[in-house]
Chains A and B, each alone.
Chain A
Amino acid sequence: MNSYEVLRLDGVRKVHGRGAGAVIALSGASLSVAAGTFLAVMGPSGSGKSTLLNCAAGLETPTEGTVTVGGTGLAGLDDVALTQFRRGHIGFVFQDFNLLPYLTAYQNVELPLRLGGARVDRRRIAAVLDRVGMAHRLDRLPAQLSGGEQQRVAVARALVTRPSVIFADEPTGSLDSASAAQVLGLLRDAVRTAGQTVVMVTHDPVAASRADSVLFLADGELVSHMDRPDAEAVAQQLLVASHRTAAA
């Protein structure tokens, strides 16, 4: 496993609104993620998990601080450049799948490559869909698939560009436990066998325990860190973070 850094956040602050009504979503988060690792970010709701993820992925612009993905600083990129960068270097898995409703499973996976103007190799798409166990459902529309199946297609879409980092925002939040386990297994596999890097936001200690390490967030601040987590310890730590929020 190599250990070069694919994601780096330095003092990332995000404030929504201005003046008296301003809400600090993230107050100066710094972190570094090595290639080929699986990181989970946990915290009670409102702790800034999603903001952290959105800033790291270039979906939101930080108020302060810098984000570097695969050696490229995101600051100063305009919307077009940022989109093109995301397309090539960042994969996404969202809680509610975000597949395009009028595209089949195959077409959804192919989309990021198509949009980038790349010549699309049918075998490559088929291989990725095979990896997530969806080779038999290539021509189905999202509405004709179960939630678990849709999320597996979404994972395939995130994998197809071989991105520097895959961001997953509550990827199991809308799934039953069996499908959730399957999707987590796929993410885990992508890290172990393909050397991908995954950053996952979750509130589920069981999901977090599948990661290599867990970061805990409370009130927009990174408060603790745990390596080789197990579900029980994660749940314990989460409780501590929640109390901290409640006390604040």
Chain B
Amino acid sequence: MYRLAVRSVRSRLTSFTACGLAVFLGATLVLAFLTLLSTGTAPGVSSDDRSTLTTMAGVVGGWGVLIVIFAVVSAMQLAVRQRSEEFALLRTIGTTPDQVRRIVLGEAVLVASVASIAALLPGWLAGKGLLATLRRAHLVSAHVHHHAGIAPMVITVVAMLLAAGVAARFAARPALAGSATSALTASRVGPTRLSRRRFWLGIALAGLGLNYSVMAMTMGNDDGDKFAAMSMAGPAVVFGSMGLAVFAPILLRNAARIAGPVLERTPVGHLAAIAIRQRAFELSGALMPVIVLVGVATGTLYMVGIDADNGELEAHDVATNSTELLNLVVVGMVCLFAAIMVVNALAASIAARRREFGRQRLAGSTQGQVTTMARIEAALIAATGIVAGGVASLAGVVPYTIVKTSGFLPTTWPWLFPLVAGLATAVTIGATTVASRRVLRTPAVEAAAA
């Protein structure tokens, strides 16, 4: 019994760690940019330096924050949804919906505050590092000193708490709706269609993305501000990706339908196809970060690429080159964050399937068959994410290309999208394989009873 309890805590620990990691890395990223902002607005900074720092914090930090919030929300959703059966059970033994809500909220706030407070020092250091890079690239004068007051830290922690709390509250809704027993059945079957609320959220996000797209196209050519196009094309990609990510379950289910004839040729593929169709909502927790990773990486890196290409045509001045380098560093940071979130989500989603894998083995699946099934799911998740993310990236890439060059699609870096797609696939399948093997170490009987 003791071992069982340890296992249960450990499997839950994975999802809590996943949430904590999302908050921790997210807070680090957000705080780094916020300290740039406070450095720029500190007294005694020249107006040129001020505009460089605030633009940088505003342009890149702005959509970086969006991605961070998205990551925290989706990690929290995953963690709470995995436990909806437990919450429904609590209700059947007399816990009121309000009490359950308080438990969920309490856990979310606890995880988010510990993780965001832990991120204060790394975030401060990252901001200092960014500023040092800016100084070295002569983008700001050597006299600018890193100035991070208490405000950026408070804002970071509060933002993380809000994101985590609101996400947890919404994620717990299905377990709290209806009677206790109907919630229990619903939590075991899982949702089968998008809620109206979710549908409109997706439409709103995609609409925002398109809006930014149009703005980038019409106002991006402002000569006075060389960041104008990027400051609109960036959010276009981020909102577009998030909008499509909201529809992830529908995308995944259709992908499984399309891939069905191929999958059904093998017994394990057949099982995977059924599992994906039936559990599209649970698995989409892993798909959402993949869409955002592919969309944002493709979109922003192409923008950097187009700028680099234009820079070569113009003068080879030091400032242009170092701006590009810096763009690459900053965009790279955000992409790396998105990639870690993919691994994070996959690890959490596989860890939560310990019991299911155990049952599958007791029903006669070899360990190899279980891993293969998880890999097939991962491959489908990767493929769906690449297509959806690729489409979302167009929301920023097309306007940016139109504004900056004479074409519609970038001609620079033709290898970039295949590279992003390849890396996303490798990360998705790799993380799934490692996580599955870890879960499979538990003997089948024990895992099935966990």
A-side contacts of B275, CB under 8 Å: 102-103
A84 CB-CB contact with B under 8 Å? yes
Structural contact, A60 and B364, CB atoms closer than 8 A? no
Determine the main DSSP class of A at the interface with B: helix
Contact digits for B364-403, partner A, Cβ 8 Å, 1 yes 0 no: 1111110000000000000000000000000000000000
Contact digits for A50-84, partner B, Cβ 8 Å, 1 yes 0 no: 00001000011000000000000000000110011
Structural contact, B278 and A102, CB atoms closer than 8 A? yes
Structural contact, A103 and B364, CB atoms closer than 8 A? no
Given A103-B274, A115-B267, residue A141 in contact with residue B189 (CB < 8 A): yes
B-side contacts of A116, CB under 8 Å: 267, 364
CA distance A108 to B275 in the complex (A): 12
B-side contacts of A99, CB under 8 Å: 359
A-side contacts of B268, CB under 8 Å: 115
B-side contacts of A15, CB under 8 Å: none
Shortest B377–chain A CB gap in Å is 11
B443 CB-CB contact with A under 8 Å? yes
B114 CB-CB contact with A under 8 Å? no
B204 CB-CB contact with A under 8 Å? no
Structural contact, B445 and A111, CB atoms closer than 8 A? no
Structural contact, B369 and A115, CB atoms closer than 8 A? yes
A114 CB-CB contact with B under 8 Å? yes
From A96, A117, A157, give the contact of B267 (CB < 8 A): A117
Structural contact, B445 and A100, CB atoms closer than 8 A? no
A38 CB-CB contact with B under 8 Å? no
A-side contacts of B188, CB under 8 Å: 101, 142-143
Closest chain A residue to B185, Cβ basis: A143
CA distance A37 to B90 in the complex (A): 43
Contact digits for B48-66, partner A, Cβ 8 Å, 1 yes 0 no: 0000000000000000000
B448 CB-CB contact with A under 8 Å? yes
Contact digits for B265-298, partner A, Cβ 8 Å, 1 yes 0 no: 0011011001100110000000000000000000
Contact digits for A25-43, partner B, Cβ 8 Å, 1 yes 0 no: 0000000000000000000
A131 CB-CB contact with B under 8 Å? no
B-side contacts of A54, CB under 8 Å: 445
Contact digits for A226-237, partner B, Cβ 8 Å, 1 yes 0 no: 000000000000
Closest chain B residue to A82, Cβ basis: B366
Residues facing B in A139-161 (CB within 8 A) are 141-144, 157
A86 CB-CB contact with B under 8 Å? yes
Taking each of B360, B364, B444, which has the highest tally of chain A beta carbons within 10 Å of its own beta carbon? B364
Shortest B244–chain A CB gap in Å is 24
Structural contact, A83 and B365, CB atoms closer than 8 A? yes
Closest chain B residue to A112, Cβ basis: B364
Structural contact, B362 and A114, CB atoms closer than 8 A? no
Structural contact, A59 and B369, CB atoms closer than 8 A? no
Given A102-B274, A107-B274, A117-B267, residue A92 in contact with residue B362 (CB < 8 A): yes
From B271, B359, B368, B369, give the contact of A98 (CB < 8 A): B359
Structural contact, B367 and A157, CB atoms closer than 8 A? no
Structural contact, A114 and B271, CB atoms closer than 8 A? yes
A-side contacts of B270, CB under 8 Å: 114
A87 CB-CB contact with B under 8 Å? yes
Structural contact, A80 and B278, CB atoms closer than 8 A? no
B151 CB-CB contact with A under 8 Å? no
A-side contacts of B365, CB under 8 Å: 83, 115
Rank and list the top 4 A-B pairs by shortest CB-CB distance, nearest first.
A87-B364, A143-B188, A102-B278, A83-B366
List chain B positions with a Cβ less than 8 A from chain A: 185, 188-189, 267-268, 270-271, 274-275, 278-279, 356, 359-369, 443-445, 448-449
